[in-house]
Amino acid sequence: MEQNDVFERLKSAVIKAQNELDLPDHIADSVMEIASRPTFFASKAKIVGDLAEMVLDYHTYAEACCERLGASASDIQYVVGYIKSSVKGS
């Protein structure tokens, strides 16, 4: 898969998650910051692909019961923070 495809897949995942999975706007906005800057985040393309999968696996109540149901908002925010800090720290 070409690198830019990963970032396009992330954009598509965010749009789908907002429309179908009730992904909160503030989380979508922070993920879109990464998706819209493929050159800047190019070194993190692998984890960006993983983030796209997490976004598609988002579940509003992921942490509400003893059995995890998909990715939570805090899971996604953690990965977004990791990606942003690891690029800035390079």
SS3 assignment, position 71:
strand
Q: Give the pLDDT band of residue 4 (cuts 50, 70, 90).
A: confident
Q: Which residue has the tokens 């598609």?
A: 56
Residue 52 corresponds to which tokens in the numbers above?
Answer: 């796209």
Q: Per residue in 37-76, pLDDT tens?
A: 999 999 999 999 999 999 999 987 666 666 667 888 899 9
pTM of the model: 0.86
Show the DSSP H helices in 1-90 as ranges. Answer: 3-20, 25-35, 45-56, 73-88
